[in-house]
Structure 1
Amino acid sequence: MDLFDQISNDIKEAMKAKDKVRLEALRNVKKVFLEAKTAPGANDTLADDAALKLMQKLVKQGKDSAESYIQAGRPELAEEEMAQVRVIEAYLPKQLSPEELEAKLKDIIARVGAVGGKDMGKVMGVATKELAGLAEGRAISAKVKELLG
């Protein structure tokens, strides 16, 4: 069963359980999936890797929105947003711990032969491909700067 079908089934389960937060989050995910499937050139298909990227984007947007709500003094809206983010994160691969991320980045730096800040682009190119879905881009970038700095 692909991710699209799993989300569709989980929407039904959330409806039966009357879980409003989960239902709203999954409906939002399905809407984004449908838009991607019907986009020009998509041939009415959505591969799981593309679906995961879309879900990661939704998580990032949700976290950014929650941060904005907190800065605006609306913690109740931030909590609603984070509740939906947690629902979506359950479908994503487990994120690397800071220690695991550092170890993988040290390995990549050694393979690429990076020696300083000027080599950050080379390292980031490889790291973002290899660690896609396992760590946020911000975290990767910050750790690479720290290691090369």
Structure 2
Amino acid sequence: MTTLKAKLHDDLTAAIKARDELRSATLRLTLSAIAYEETAGKTARELSDDEVLKVITRETKKRREAAEAFDKGGRADSAERERAEGEVLAAYLPAQLSDEELTALVAEAVAEARAGGAEGPKAMGAVMKAVKPKVGNRAEGGRVSAEVKRQLA
């Protein structure tokens, strides 16, 4: 078992013992999503920590989108629950890049792409390819993409 998955299991056990319903329900759903990912495909496999992080990131994004949908639908109580679940999961993610840090990384990648001859919106793919490894899991793809578009415009 990977260390991150083991930590999730340990935290689930602690949350159940502490009768923390929100935390235990959130961790159960996340572990279920991890188990589903492990058994998806032709053969079962164990996910690496990076793959577990991707699942947690995806689950966090689902919670945020659900909270926005509940807000639009006028269901503030459900939106608040989704946000609380997102905060529980955010504790397992690496620290996110600030706007300034992201801007600096993208500016560096844009400069590299321009040095290679890429210019304007057509350089989007080259810049994204260069910036994605630098950013890793520390910023959401949509945020990175928006910043790249802004700087290329």
Query: Which TM-score applies when normalising by structure 2?
Result: 0.91
Once residues 53 and 126 of structure 1 are traced to their aligned partners in structure 2, the CA distance between those partners, rounded to angstroms, is 20
Which position in structure 1 is the counterpart of 2:38?
37
> What residue in structure 2 maps to residue 139 of structure 1?
143
Amino acid paired to 1:110:
A
Ranges of 4+ aligned residues in structure 1 off by more than 6 Å: none
RMSD, aligned α-carbons: 1.4
Percent of residue pairs bearing the same amino acid type: 36
> Which residue is 1:84 aligned to?
85
Give the match for residue 64 of structure 1. 65
Choose 39-48 or 92-101, whichever is displaced more.
Answer: 39-48
Residue of structure 2 aligned with 1:121, choices 122, 125, 134: 125
1:28-75: CA deviation from partner (whole Å, max 9, x where unpaired) = 110011112222355431101011111111111111100000000001
Tell me the TM-score normalised to structure 1 length.
0.93
Point out where structure 1 has 5 or more consecutive residues left out of the alignment: none
Secondary structure of the corresponding residue to residue 132 of structure 1? helix
Query: Could you tell me which residue of structure 1 aligns to residue 95 of structure 2?
Result: 94
Query: Following the alignment from structure 2 to structure 1, what is the Cα–Cα distance between the partners of residues 122 and 87?
Result: 37
Counterpart Cα distance in 2 of 1:48 and 1:65: 26
Residue 133 and residue 16 in structure 1: after superposition, are their counterparts in 2 closer, same or farther (change >3 A)? same
**Corresponding residue for 1:110?**
111
Cross-structure match for 1:14:
15
Query: SS of the residue aligned with 1:131?
Result: helix
Q: How many residues align?
A: 149
Q: Distance in 2 between matches of 1:72 and 1:50?
A: 33
